[in-house]
A and B are shown apart, each in its own frame.
Chain A
Amino acid sequence: MNMKITILNGDMSNGTSDLSIYIGNLARQLKENHSVDVFPLHKMNLHYCSGCWSCWWKTPGQCAKHDEAEPIFRSVINSDFIIFASPLMAGFTSSALKKTTDRLIVLLHPYIKLKNGESHHRKRYDHYPNFGLLLQRELGTDEEDIQIVNTIYDRFALNFHNERKYTRFIEFTNADEIIYEITGNTAIH
């Protein structure tokens, strides 16, 4: 089955890091059977969310910023699976990735619903693709760091009506395994 896959690459280097090379290779293999969008966030013209709420009460569903974010919003909401890729920096995913996930609030609706005794914003779209985390370790990354990152992304998933399917590290997982986990089809020849 042909899938639509969105990769948000939060690498903050000039694109020559192990992570970006890994993603390049992963995307190339995925493209053999799927449509893949890769966004090198740090190299794109992307502003920080300024909390103006235009997307909720002035131009519903549409961000007021004129930068390169719109193709990301389109790709994310129309895809079957998202990969959030990032080096760990100061114990969390990069600011390039975080600023992008902040902006994804445009895909939600302001109205509030309760879920497990918690407030959440209701869906604007019918379907929110699940995601996987693809991380690169930093000096000192330990089990606690990974648990914290997972907890925060699981909370992100609660807000975004989707699920975190896995967290993988480029140091320990080869691209074939990632592809297998996304598509259920082994790419091992």
Chain B
Amino acid sequence: MKLVIFNGSPRYKKSNSALLTEQFLKGYNRFCPEPVPVYYLANYKQREAAAEIFKQAETVLLIFPLYTDCMPGIVKEFFENIAGESYSPAKKVGVIVQSGFPESIHAEGLERYLKKLVLRLNCEYLGTMIKGGVEGIQSMPPSMTRKLYGKFQVLGEYFAQNNSFEPGITEKFRKPYRFSRTYIVIFTLLSKTGITNFYWNGQLKKNGAFEKRFARPYLD
């Protein structure tokens, strides 16, 4: 199984996608020690070369952030470059979509799109993993990311052995699909205290931009 990974985050190597890929590969390499090439679509040269690399791969994993409930523009460009061909023998293609909001409903349309795209390429669809609530992991202490990273390692181990996504974690990651009533009540109460804006306010203050947070610079 010749595996190739495409990282579709516009943040390039400093992305959440890169952090999660690293953990996935830690697990993967326990069973398949051969180094797995990772290509970054945010890099212009690698993006240009990506269609050719895709052509030669046997198994492809694509990981990218959700952008406006869809794939980022650079990932769409990549899709345009690989489309219009029917790949034979069929490649196996799996996708990992991670996002800021915790609920997987945001990626619902995108998931249907990805499935159709892989079929359009005449490839074998390994499914789409959807993991919300990922924004912020870069600044979290290890104690807060240990569980998430552990799961990505298990996913990697499983993928190395089965060439597919581990179903239990895949299902867990999708939760919540939408928020429950209880959560809504709690969130509403908390938002009155301002704590739900904690992450953004912290960053705004750090940059000395808190007072200007409601600016509307593009209004005529």
Determine whether the beta carbon of B184 is less than 8 Å from that of A114: yes
Determine whether the beta carbon of B79 is less than 8 Å from that of A58: no
Determine whether the beta carbon of B200 is less than 8 Å from that of A117: no
Indicate whether B101 reaches chain A with its CB closer than 8 angstroms: yes
B182 to chain A, nearest CB (A): 11
Indicate whether A163 reaches chain B with its CB closer than 8 angstroms: no
**1/0 per residue B206-220: CB within 8 Å of A?**
110100111111111
Determine whether the beta carbon of A118 is less than 8 Å from that of B83: no
Determine whether the beta carbon of A111 is less than 8 Å from that of B203: no
Q: Is the interface of A mostly helix, strand, loop or mixed?
A: mixed
Complex interface: chain B residues within 8 A of A109 (CB)? 213-214
* Residues of chain B from 159 to 181 with CB closer than 8 A to chain A in the complex: 178-180
The interface stretch among A21-29, A96-104, A164-172, A174-182 is A96-104
The interface stretch among B54-62, B63-71, B123-131, B145-153 is B63-71
Residues A73 and B209 in contact in the complex (CB < 8 Å), given A118-B101, A118-B179, A145-B116: no
Indicate whether A173 reaches chain B with its CB closer than 8 angstroms: no
Complex interface: chain B residues within 8 A of A74 (CB)? 218, 220
Indicate whether B9 reaches chain A with its CB closer than 8 angstroms: yes
Once bound together, how far apart are the Cα atoms of A51 and B218, in whole Å? 20
Determine whether the beta carbon of B200 is less than 8 Å from that of A110: yes
Determine whether the beta carbon of A124 is less than 8 Å from that of B116: no
The interface stretch among B18-26, B28-36, B105-113 is B105-113
Indicate whether B102 reaches chain A with its CB closer than 8 angstroms: yes
Chain B residue at minimum C-beta to C-beta distance from A90: B83
Once bound together, how far apart are the Cα atoms of A61 and B211, in whole Å? 12
How many chain A residues touch B (CB < 8 A): the figure is 57
Indicate whether B74 reaches chain A with its CB closer than 8 angstroms: yes
Indicate whether B120 reaches chain A with its CB closer than 8 angstroms: yes
Residues A57 and B203 in contact in the complex (CB < 8 Å), given A125-B219, A151-B112: yes
Determine whether the beta carbon of B113 is less than 8 Å from that of A92: yes
Determine whether the beta carbon of B69 is less than 8 Å from that of A159: yes
Contact surface of B with A, Cβ cutoff 8 Å: 9-11, 15, 42, 65, 67-74, 76-77, 79-80, 82-84, 101-103, 105-106, 108-110, 112-113, 116-117, 120, 178-180, 183-184, 187-188, 191, 196-197, 200, 203-204, 206-207, 209, 212-220
Besides A61-B217, A78-B220, 17 more A-B contacts (Cβ < 8 Å) are A50-B10, A57-B200, A60-B215, A62-B215, A98-B76, A100-B73, A101-B68, A102-B67, A102-B73, A112-B101, A112-B197, A114-B179, A117-B179, A148-B112, A151-B108, A152-B70, A156-B70
Contact surface of A with B, Cβ cutoff 8 Å: 12, 48-53, 56-62, 70, 73-74, 77-78, 89-92, 94-95, 98-102, 104-107, 109-114, 116-119, 124-125, 140, 144-145, 148, 151-152, 154-156, 158-159
For the complex of A and B, the 7 pairs showing the least CB-CB separation, nearest first, are A99-B73, A90-B83, A151-B109, A155-B69, A152-B109, A95-B77, A57-B203
Question: Can you list 26 A-B contacts with CB-CB less than 8 angstroms, sorted by A residue number?
Answer: A48-B73, A49-B72, A50-B11, A57-B200, A57-B207, A57-B209, A58-B209, A60-B213, A74-B218, A78-B219, A91-B116, A91-B117, A98-B72, A98-B73, A109-B214, A110-B200, A111-B196, A117-B103, A117-B178, A118-B101, A118-B178, A125-B216, A148-B112, A151-B108, A156-B69, A159-B69
